[in-house]
Structure 1
Amino acid sequence: MKKIALPLLFVCLTSANLKAQDMQENVATDNNDFNKWSIEVSGGANKPFRTFTPGYRTDRVNFFTVDLGTRYMFNNKFGLKLDFGYNKFENNDDSPEFESTYLRGDIQGVVNLGRVLNFEDWTSVIGLLAHAGGGVYQLQSDNGFDGEDWGANLIGGFTAQLKLSDHIVLTGDVTGIANGFQNWNFDGMSQNNRTFDGVVLNGTLGLTFYLGGHEKHADWTTDVKSDELAALEDRIGSVETMMNDTDKDGVPDYLDAEPNSTTGVAVDTKGRAIDNNNNGVPDELESYIDAKNKEIVQNMGGGTDVKELINEGYVNVYFDFNKDMPNAQSTSGINFLAKYLKNNPSASADVIGYADEIGNSDYNKALSQRRAENVKKILVDSGIDASRLNIIGNGEDASVNKNNKQARQVVRRVTFIIKQ
């Protein structure tokens, strides 16, 4: 059955993924369930560059600037806006007096970078817009040239958004403007002969007001998946969950009658560890433990019993740094103790956890407690009565050089004391 079911599940999973991808491409994002219009009002400072008569200049931050605009979003990513701006340029203390006004009107494309870059994955109140386009400007000078200087401009910038409510947003904008066909310098005292020269940098704070009767504006509307696509993704998730193999025994969880079998131990077709003598210890592991017991006793001179080996710290369970579950290489220590307790039903044991000295002492105390508790749980799941196991969290073991990585590995452990 396993040989048939696995290929069928693989085919189903592949087909479902392909169908989901196809449906995802067809999900509509330009529905009408959001507001599209907004009005933008902002004010701030400016800095004009380059086209000045020698000796004339402004302050580094020049007040003031006013922007008014209206924006329409075709969907939650793209739109257009029409905006009007007013800038005032004045001399600083080191310049001859002048005062100029700069009026402009522009149409710009808008890209909602917050949606393009999936800001919704980490925030619901911060957004970012990019805008660029072109238009016309008019330059006037109060004490310079007479009349008006008209020309074209290119404009672009970025607008950061902080959502205050579903209908009001606080904005901060940085915009650059490049003028074309500018006949007069910004100070209005002399002419400019370059086709493209004048540059203005604006920095403003303002508010955006969303218009319409829907709950959300396009700026904050995420792509909505169809019910059919959502159901299909749920089905894919269920199939993927079924194919998980938690205990890594080669049998998927949906077919595994024993999904927590010991790693590396032979199992049958239903994922159950082979235990012919029904003592709760897999036969393969039991034979390994028996051989290891004999080897340890022989190395100790042949006169040492298993209880003494355990109590003297020859049987330990080790942990990786900052982990409270035993590493795969040391679970044999748990099985060693389990076999002893099953063969000696009157015995009980202290399960004692330790941590190394890296980090906060209180945290390490709690970590050593969790390590001991998790080893106890594994022993209980192996068939040992919980009342026979006493948990002790001993905290940090300072018996080794804490600057030595290998030495610290030795003290990240759980050890046992047998009591009769």
Structure 2
Amino acid sequence: MKKLVLPFLLLLLSSTTAFAQEDDQDDKMTLSTDFNKWSIDVNGGLNKTGNPMAKGYYIKATNFFHANLGFRYMFNPKFGLKFQGGYDVFNSADGSLPFETKLITINIQGYANLGRIMEFETWTQRINLLGHTGFGVGEMTGTNFIGKDHIGNFLMGLTAQYRISDRISLNGDITMINSFHHHKTWDGSMYDKDASSGFDSSYYTATLGLSIYLGKHQQHADWFVDEENDELEDLQSRLEELETMMNDSDKDGVPDYLDAEPNTITGVAVDSKGRTIDKNENGVPDELESYIENKNNEVKQSVNADIAELINSGYVNVYFDFNKDQPNAQSVNGINFLVKHLKENPSVKADVIGYADEIGDSNYNKDLSRRRSENVRKILMDAGIDGSRLNIVGNGEDTSVNKSSPYARQIVRRVTFILK
């Protein structure tokens, strides 16, 4: 017995340490620990042995009696440990030589809450499933031999649960036990050790019982469901916000949230902060300026037409901060670009079209969008553009983006232009 007890104690210590480490890691990921962890599990029912049996001995197919008592501790809603004691009686069947054998066992088992792992809570809060496995030792006595036979065992099984209340649940369990280190057969005869290898025997138990939950919280870990939906929704919201932040409205290769000029002309070279490269600081990107200067008038007219198309397509905009009707500092280059184009093309007129985001009263936003277009018109007039060439339009709210995203709303708080 001493040879079995020492390894068993070592197993108990190592298993407890392993599960405790897992518990620490799991607690870091769990949003709440408002659940009870201890339970008392009481079961009784039938058992059935397999080999080894001596010649002439047979055991009943449905043999009464098996009972066990266990103390279970759940580190979290998915994993736990159980220390259990069991008692079995094996009786001879009709036609068998008579015998009665008794077996007392103790074991430690790791438990997995399969119902929580497989998310039973999505369709039921009454039915659950536990899986368990572990090692133990046993002491066997019987009518056909004197003394005691000490054996070890490995066991694994499934427990179905039905929740009666927050304090008690009904369970049914089926467990398979493989034993080793036998000196006697189940009927008490001397076992032929030369015929054995590895595990010497097996027997099965089928029981019904109760799980009694202890603790101050409302629910036990068997039935506790963490509010993970809120975390998932928050994560989804953050991902959507990140996607918006990574948008590149002007297609210059710099995400909008890092872009100091989110309205640069598509295809024009920019620096690492998304600003157009304009070494002579004349308001026209060097790349575009060089292209225009190297073309004749016909090509220049074509370029002007292309520029007008870019402006009309919304690639040149003036942006505003929230609830402001004066352009922000990042919009200076866009205004300069339009001023230069209008000065070079004195016959061209423009609609100055203001927009607002969806936050606030619609009538207020309509007025805000018009004030924005009026202020941009004034800046253009101060820069030398005849006011008769500029038509004011207040288009109110732009509903084309997700109003819950502050980064998306920043894109629609703008004044855009249509050349005529």
* Structure of larger gyration radius: 2
TM-score w.r.t. structure 1 length? 0.48
TM-score w.r.t. structure 2 length? 0.48
